Amino acid sequence: MKLLCSYSIYLGMVCITILGMMASWVDRKITAKLQWRVGPPWYQSFADFLKLWGKETTIPEGCSRLLFPVAPVIGVAGAACAAALLAAAAVDPSADVRGSLILTLCFLAAPAVALIIGGAASHNELASLGARRELRLAVACEVPFLIAVFTPALRAGGALRLGEMVAYQRMYGMILPGFSGIISFLVTLICMLALLRFTPFDCAEADTEINSGPLILYSGKMLGLLKLMKMMMLGVVPLFLITLFMGGIRVRWPGIAITAIQYLLLVLLATVLRNTNPRARIDQAERFFLIPMTIAACAGAVLAVIGY
């Protein structure tokens, strides 16, 4: 069983990469349709990554020779490790590692750390500005996100393993129904937009303002890794929400069809939200997460404690 679980982890990392690329295409296709454009073909994400991988990689003068190339690797590694933990919990909840929920949260923060390190190491004004915005947004977003994520853990009897949360939902049903589940899910869903750098919380990479911010000096393979990181996060974060609130990831038929529908609905909802809202200023985003979102997350946690 352990051997099967280890192979499933590696397979899950490959699948999450493919899933993220296909989800990125769905996002771009729907965005194009909303803007009365044709949109890219289904293989566009793969073609973009291969094109960047074949281009020359340059490190501009003045950049940190150590931190500048390491930052994209940190982001991709974090997303891959989070995918591995989700895969392990889906295949065999009893073989999940101890404290996997906390580990997953740490790995989900790695892409933000990568953008902060990469922007600061660029020694470019726009990149540094984007890194500062990313830092402020990450700190503000993490507060309600952590509270909302640990609310279903309270509902599951204080479970700190993803496998325990999946097993609990398979026995007693999804955590989403109920006041605490709905509130925490909505808070986590909004935080998901910030984790994915979707509008209205894409102020750190605002193309029309600071020309992609931390990504401005990246090229070739390193830029390809940063793009891959964002696509992998589009695969990981919705599956993380499914694991916490919607019964867990199902890998056998017909449950896998239910998981696919849930995942697609989350991607569609995120795409619609990012295409129907203007970009927020960084101070507006900070206030939004630290005040109303934190209050809502705390209300969900209190309701979970008292049994609602």
Indicate if the pLDDT at residue 12 is higher than 80: no
Indicate if the pLDDT at residue 5 is higher than 80: no
pLDDT in tens, 251-298: 788 888 999 999 999 999 999 888 888 888 889 999 999 999 999 999
pLDDT value of position 144: 93
Per-residue DSSP letter, 278: P
Q: Which residues contact 272 (CB under 8 A, 6 or more apart)?
A: 30
The first and second tokens of residue 128, run together, are 């540094």
- Mean pLDDT, residues 78-94 taken together: 83
- Mean pLDDT, residues 8-37 taken together: 84
Stated pTM of the model: 0.90
- Cβ(126)–Cβ(211) under 8 Å? yes
Q: Under the phi-then-psi rule, with left for phi > 0, alpha for psi from -120 to 50, and beta for the rest, what region is 199?
A: beta
The first and second tokens of residue 245, run together, are 């609130």
CA distance 131 to 204: 7
The angle subtended at Cα 283 by Cα 277 and Cα 276, nearest 5°, is 0
Handedness of CA 127, 132, 138, 141 (dihedral sign): negative
- The domain spans of the chain are 2-305
pLDDT value of position 211: 79
Q: How many C-beta atoms surround the C-beta of residue 102 within 10 A?
A: 15
Indicate if the pLDDT at residue 9 is higher than 70: no
pLDDT in tens, 195-219: 888 888 888 888 778 878 888 888 8
Cis peptide bond N-terminal to 200, omega within 30 = yes
- Cβ(110)–Cβ(75) under 8 Å? yes
